[in-house]
Chains A and B, each alone.
Chain A
Amino acid sequence: MIVELSPGLILICGGLLAPLLPTRLRPWLMIVLPFVAFAHILALPHGEFGRVQVMGLSLITLRVDGLSLLFGYIFLIAAFLGGLYALHVRDTAQHSAALIYAGSALGAVFAGDLVTLFFFWEGIAAASVFLIWAARTEHAYRAGMRYIVMQIGSGVLLLTGILIHYWHTGSLNFGVIGLASPAGLLILVAFGIKCAFPLLHTWLPDSYPEATASGTVLLSSFTTKVAVYALARSYAGTDILVPIGAVMTAFPIFYAVIENDLRRVLAYSLNNQLGFMVVGIGIGTELALNGAAAHAFAHILYKGLLFMSMGAVLFRVGTVKGSELGGLYKSMPYTTGFCLVGAASISAFPLFSGFVTKSMVISAAMEGGYFWTWLVLLFASAGVFHHAGIKIPYFAFFAHDSRKRCKEAPAHMLVAMAIAAVLCIGIGSFPSLLYSVLPFNSTYDPYSLDHVVAQVQLLFLSALAFTLLVRSGIYPPELRSTNLDFDWFYRKPGRGLAVAIGRIADDAWRGLTAIGAWTAHRALGLIEQAHGPGGILARTWRTGAMAFWATMMLAAYLVLSYLRS
């Protein structure tokens, strides 16, 4: 017998019950519950379960197939690693938020209909923002506000799209949607906000670097990857995604090169890696979709690992600004090693995970004859090695010695990083393990001679460029700075505009109330004139005057009745 329960609800219930547990036990929920949920999904056969009737809508709360299982596995691994990494945290809000967040992400990928998806979509937004606010700084509070506005905006667009879609088609199935109807466009934009499409991306580099050390690790795993999953479900083979994804791979790396906050550099490279997945979904062939899914899987591990290593630096040193760091390999040798594994994986070195997954997308672009896209992807591959593969470890752990000395990261962080590092190398060295759980059967072989040589050449000569630029002093130094991104438009002139509109509205309101008050004052004056002491209608009249006016009225009545006849 199978329990027809979304595995997400296991974690969400844990999150709701967490505040009731003793403080010492609370952090262990995030370590134990992923195993429970894992056992649950392993026991599930493919198919649609958990049918519920709500207000005449028939919902499928649990759909199990290759794609949802793949994302289910990796989300549970990420939740477990994130929980292990956060074992030192004594903050109920963070524990609850993390569990509800991971559970919602899990629920979303097992959702069989759009209403269930929407429910978990909002759960992701609402829970994740607490991981940003948990940093308890003014910057984090404000970035969290901007984050939640974007996320809720995505939810509103999704709901509107779902309603129109249901009205047109009568179906709530979370399957292929496409761009044939306006509903399809609305839902694509909703997914696009969460997937950090160009110009909709600003919440990502804005908020992730402001969250807590352990919070960012979780944030990097779930939100954007749920969006990738949703795109793969509903928009596979949608042509427009190819150029969108290509732009995503290329433009964030320019920011990454000049950014000083190393966790923000990682946020930009996260955006760049999402681009590879979006391109794969846009191409839409079996190889491309397998590549997008596999890359999402590998990406969660190595990006989590990189964020963990930078989180450890933040935890021990108190800053991750490139301008303040350097030479930390002396204090944190293990963290340095794990960071290098993450760096090699994101750069797609042979034997590391990125190599066996990203190359599927690039090969699919090549097979499909997407020449310019292919060229952009190559540029982005060189670029990501440059800023995430070299810049992150170089400025944090090597470069000039900042003469900062600290302790090595705590043991639980090191264990979490070690597991992630082993998985990165495992996937890269034995890709058939990952290929066997991909949604389509795969015969892809990444380890052909020409491919390995090509990739190694690309990477080594990129590193050569870095070496020569640094040694010649041309390489831009790390500077304390803010780099303007698209969010400038709403944070500066947009804010100015809003303030100006507010001021005009304020003035208009004040004018209106003044006119109203004046009118009321006048009216009251007139009434007072008539009814006030000495007013014409308030006088005591003599009986004679009354009799006179009564006679006058009767006379008028008489005259009028004559006129009528």
Chain B
Amino acid sequence: MINRPDPHEETYWLDDPRNVNRLVYGFYVVCGLLLAIDVFVPKHSPFVIEHTFAFYGVFGFVACVALVLIAKELRRILMRPEDHYDR
């Protein structure tokens, strides 16, 4: 069922790293715009913290970086060879 790609296979748009970079830079711009419009959005939350500038954006960014770094450290404690339970 699984075949190796044949050398004459068409190349895809995403195969070109320059296109990937274009996408990524476009994405950075969108993120910047999202943070910028935060000033114009009225806030209704009962929690004061939500009224700080771009709370959700900053929180999401920090949360994900923390998540990945902690999970990476957890590997030291938790990671075992694939056949750990078969031995």
Contacts and interface: CB of A to CB of B under 8 A. Distances in A.
Q: Do A and B come from one complex?
A: yes
B71 to A, nearest CB: 4
B56 A258 contact: no
B22 to A, nearest CB: 13
Interface in A391-436: 398, 401, 403-407
Given A450-B44, A464-B61, A482-B82, A254 B71 contact: yes
Contacts of B2: 316-318, 404-406
Given A405-B4, A474-B68, 18 more contacts: A255-B78, A366-B47, A379-B67, A382-B63, A383-B64, A405-B2, A407-B1, A453-B56, A454-B41, A457-B35, A460-B30, A460-B31, A461-B31, A461-B35, A461-B56, A462-B61, A469-B65, A469-B68
B18 interface: no
A157 to B, nearest CB: 26
Given A405-B2, A405-B4, A464 B78 contact: no
Interface of B: 1-5, 12, 14-15, 24, 27-28, 30-31, 34-35, 37-38, 41-47, 50, 54-61, 63-65, 67-72, 74-75, 77-85
A481 interface: yes
A407 B10 CA distance: 16
A460 B34 CA distance: 8
Contact of B67 (A386, A406, A467, A471): A386
A371 interface: yes
Given A467-B24, A481-B81, A457 B38 contact: yes
Interface in A125-142: none
Given A464-B61, A491-B85, A476 B75 contact: yes
B28 to A, nearest CB: 7
B82 to A, nearest CB: 5
A457 B38 CA distance: 9
Contacts, number: 164
Contact of A258 (B64, B65, B78): B78
A482 B44 contact: no
Given A366-B47, A480-B82, A382 B54 contact: no
Interface string A459-484: 11111111101010011100111111
A469 B24 CA distance: 13
Contacts of B5: 403, 405
A3 B50 CA distance: 53
A386 B79 contact: no
A462 B68 CA distance: 11
Nearest to A463: B27
9 cross-chain pairs, A with B, having the tightest CB-CB distances, nearest first: A465-B64, A257-B71, A457-B57, A458-B60, A461-B57, A461-B61, A462-B60, A461-B60, A457-B56
B68 A475 contact: yes
A47 interface: no
B28 A464 contact: yes
A383 B70 CA distance: 12
A554 to B, nearest CB: 81
A175 B45 CA distance: 34
Interface of A: 253-255, 257-258, 316-318, 329-330, 366-367, 369, 371, 374, 378-379, 382-383, 386, 398, 401, 403-407, 449-450, 453-467, 469, 471, 474-476, 479-485, 491-492
A255 B78 CA distance: 9
Contacts of A407: 1
A444 to B, nearest CB: 14
A458 B67 contact: no
Given A484-B80, A491-B85, A449 B42 contact: yes
19 contacts: A258-B78, A258-B79, A316-B2, A317-B2, A329-B14, A369-B46, A382-B59, A382-B63, A386-B68, A398-B14, A404-B2, A405-B5, A406-B2, A450-B44, A458-B56, A460-B34, A465-B65, A465-B68, A483-B80
B83 to A, nearest CB: 8
A441 to B, nearest CB: 22
A462 B38 contact: no
Contacts of A466: 64, 68
A482 B61 contact: no
B64 A454 contact: no
Nearest to B3: A405
Contacts of B58: 461
Nearest to B12: A330
B79 A383 contact: no
